[in-house]
Structure formats: structure tokens, C-alpha cells
A = this chain, B = another copy of it.
């Protein structure tokens, strides 16, 4: 049966087939729906066709064909994004990296491994672990997200306080620019000061400059014995002193935050127990690597100091891996638990020291303007990153709710701007945050970004409509 498309002419479909093979051109409705959207639901997918190349050269041929036919391209990884960066909604050619998913031999001296952009995050974590090493970037969607997408959104997650964003783990990449050129950047070198580091633009570039096909990733040594504490905290202004006290003696691998409301939803909808009997308004989850017995003493002494100072009202420390995992679930299950309220999500950041004042300002604004909206707060506050989820009141219909949320968001982002914060800490801009870019980036910066795009993507075919218009 010949492959047909409702959008693209038969001759074009034929040329796509000639490049990737007929088995790897998809135009059926279910494929278009599957590959045409990410974890956001804001826009209905409508790609022209899906192609699954298996090499950088095939990707280059596809991009050149797209240039010839002024066909717009959407690079597609695990599509776990939350800003609509991988949505195809205007007849685009979706280039899915699923088949470029090799993991090549690990080089222990270089601590590096060459991967296809289609490698799933968890696969790399697993591979690293098999070598006795560690890939530390970790987040809720690690089981589906692909490395190319992680890099394109500079993915962060739960270990950033210790290990940084994805940016810090990229030693090299091969990519096809929007002009159809193949570039080999970085090349696995730790030191290479020969002009502008072009690779850095593609990290967090959301596929708007070109298409990453292969990557050299860095690994590190595995932690010895991760240990987790959960502490109860009554006042926002005590959060950061607690962090500073613990960091004085211990290198923390995580400093997470959640509110009592978030905890109560998780406990209500699971078999999990609260961390301790006392109830607190806020909770901090602390993780460190227990390299020796001395570390336990340091942690307990920090805990005692925090109790004595009146910053912490209760706490618990994991005695084994299972207990640590259960404590983590109190934090990590929040997103899934509240999904049924179809929350309106915001991914904000400020400087860590500003977190308490920022949280107070936003709480004040939302409670005043929308007293009937439940807010679920959690996040990676060691990096200044807060996830604000507004739950839909049962009595409100979805479209009225969304409409109101857009207005709330304006107000929130005005507060973000006064704090010189970010309207998208780790989710990227994509389609959903595009209208708000100017709250975090100046007009001059946005004009420069547009000019940079024209340098790498002169025909404006790469992921158009994302990031900016």
C-alpha cells in the first residue's frame, strides 16, 4: 500500500521514503497523533508526516529536502516536554530521533560515552551504572525523555544543586543546522578555547537552530550511600538557613521543598505515611552522600543546630535505601497525585536566597486575587526553582479555569520580573511560555536571539513558532 498524506504531495513522500526507507515514513492518523505532541495538551497535533532516520547523513538529507520544499521541521525526542516545544501543529515534517539510539563503548579515562540523540535518559543512567559510573541528571520523565531533547531543553531536575544542569554533562555533539550543514562540536575535549562555543547555543536551543543527532556525554563516579532527611519547617524564612547550615558540613545532592498541602494529597492517595507525627506547614527534603560514618554525625549535628535555632520542628533520617526511597516518594509523587485536578503549572525560578520572599509575594497575590484556588507548591529550592500548581476548583469548568489562570499568570510573571527571576526555570519556552518571554529576557536579548536563529537557520524551517515568532 503506498504511503499517502493529506498534507504533503505524493512526490515529497516518495523522496522522504528514498532517504529513510518506506518503513520509516509515517502518515497514518495514529502516528501523526502520537508523534505530533508532547506532554502538553494545549495544542492539537497536526504534523504533515513523521520520518525516522537512522543516521546523521539521513537527517542532513531530510533537512536539505525540507529547505528545497520550504517544509517546516519539528525535531522530536521523547516528547516529555511541558512547554509544547515538540508539538507539530501546522503540517510540519517531524524528524523523530528514536532510531539513532546507540550507546557506544565507555571510555574510562575520558569518562565519556558517545550516544545517539535518541537514547533514553534512563538507558544512559543504566549504562553508566553497569560501568560502575553515574549519569546524575535525573527527573520525573527519565524513563521516556531522550538525550537530544534533554540537551535541547537543558534539562535540570532533582540533583542540580550538586551536579548542575544537562549543560555540564555535554562534551560534544554532532548536529545538522537549519542550513543543512553537519557540525561536529566539542569533540569530547575538556579544554578547547578556539573561539565561540557554538555547542552552548544548541543546549537549551529547543531545536530552533538545528537538529542534534549524536552526543558525547560525560559520566562521573557513583555516590556511595545516598541518605535522605525530611524536616518539618514552620516559617518560610527558615528554609534557607537550614540549607546553609547543612551545606556548611555536607555536600548536598538535593535540597527539595514541598508544602503540607502537597504532602497531604500524596498521603491521602497512596499507602505512604507522613514522615513524622508532627505536622508542619512546609517540608525540606535533604539528600547527601554518606561517604563515611563521620557524615552521619555531621548531619545529626546540623539537624540539632536547626532544632535549637527553632528553624525545624521535627525530622527523620533514612536508615536504609528503602526508607530513603519512601521519603523521596513523598516529594516525587506530588505531580502524579495532583494530575487529576488538571493543574495549571508554572515552573519559576529566582535566586535561592529570594525563595521565601518570592513565595510570600506570590501567595499573597494569588490568595488575594483568587481565594478559591488551591495552590500546590514544591520544587528544587536549592537552585531557586519552584513549581507552582494551581488546582481547578471542582465547581469551575475547565475553560473558565484556564482563562482565569492566564490572568493569574500575568500577575505572577510580573512578580517574577520584579525579582529578576525566570518564567521557565527548566521546562523551556516552546509554545506555552512564548507570550511571556519578555518577563525574563529584555527586548534587546530577544532581538539578538532572533538574529542568531537566522544565522543557523536562514530558511526559518527549524521548529518554527517555538521560543518566539
Contact = CB atoms under 8 A, between A and B. Distances in A.
Given A191-B384, A425-B192, A449 B198 contact: yes
A194 B160 CA distance: 17
Determine which residue in A153, A165, A353, A437 has the highest number of CB atoms from chain B within 10 A of its CB, and name it: A353
A441 interface: yes
B191 A110 contact: no
A352 B190 contact: yes
A195 B352 contact: no
Number of copies: 2
A67 to B, nearest CB: 15
Nearest to A382: B190
Interface in A405-435: 420-429, 433
A193 to B, nearest CB: 5
Q: State which size class the interface on A falls in.
A: 35 or more
A197 B449 CA distance: 9
Interface in A280-329: 291-292, 294
B201 A197 contact: yes
A194 B247 CA distance: 29
A242 B121 CA distance: 31
B292 A193 contact: no
A243 interface: yes
Interface stretch (A44-52, A57-65, A181-189, A367-375): A181-189
A193 B154 contact: yes
A205 B194 contact: no
Nearest to A433: B194
A101 B449 CA distance: 30
A140 interface: no
A292 to B, nearest CB: 5
A248 B111 CA distance: 11
Contact of A191 (B194, B385, B444): B385
